[in-house]
Amino acid sequence: MACEILVKSALPLHPDKYPRGHIVVIKDTPCAWGKKECLPDYVVIHLTDATREQVDHYMKGWRMRFKYEIVAENDQGYRIKVSADLLNISLSGRGSELRSDMKDYIMAVWNAQIYSYNNYEVVIDIPKPVDLQELKTDIWDKFSDKIDKRLYYFTEAGVDIVVNAGGFMEITKQQALNYIRCRLDD
C-alpha cells in the first residue's frame, strides 16, 4: 500500500502559520485532497512503498517544554524561575529564546516583576495570592502555540522539486529521506 504526504509549499503570510516544508497530514491511498490542498500553498508527495502507519512518526510534534522552580517565598509572594527545557532545544539553539512578548505577557497578566531575564529563562517576582498551577497552565497555553512545530520537515530543495514537478510527485520512502530533516539536527 502507498500513502501521500501533504506538505506546505508557500511561505506563510503570517509568522504563526505553518512554515514552508511543514508536514501537514499523511493519508493512506487512495485518498482525496480538497481544492485548497494544491499549488501554490501545498504539494503532495506520493510514497509508493510505505503506508501512513510506517511514516506517521514524521507527524510528531516538537514543543518547547518549560521548567518551573520556586526560588524563594515570603509573605508577599514568590520568586519563580521559568526556563526552557534545554533537552528539547536543537544544537543550534534556533527557536529556543523566551521571547520578549512572553516576558511582557507575564508582567501584564500576572502583575509580576522581572528579576532577571535571558534567552533561556526568566526569573519573576509574583505577588501572593497566586494559584501556581494556574500560572503554569496559563504560561503553557499562551506560549505553546507560538513554538509548537513538527519535529520533521521537508527541505526547501525537496519542496522546490515537487513544485517544479507540478505539485505532485511519486517517490519511494528511501528517496523521501533525502529531503526530510529533523529540527533537533538543525
Record the pTM. Answer: 0.61
Task: List the chain domain ranges.
Answer: 3-61+150-185, 64-146
- pLDDT tens string 81-92: 887 665 554 444
pLDDT band at residue 11, thresholds of 50, 70 and 90?
Answer: confident
Specify the 3-state DSSP secondary structure of 156: helix
Yes or no: domain 64-146 corresponds to CATH 3.30.420: no
The confidence score (pLDDT) of residue 90 equals 46
pLDDT band at residue 50, thresholds of 50, 70 and 90?
Answer: very high
What average pLDDT does the chain have? 83
Quote the CA–CA distance of 58 and 107 in Å, as a whole number. 37
Quickly count helices (H) and strands (E) in the chain. 5, 12
- pLDDT tens string 53-83: 999 988 876 655 677 889 999 999 999 988 7
Four-CA torsion 161, 163, 166, 172, nearest 10 degrees: 40
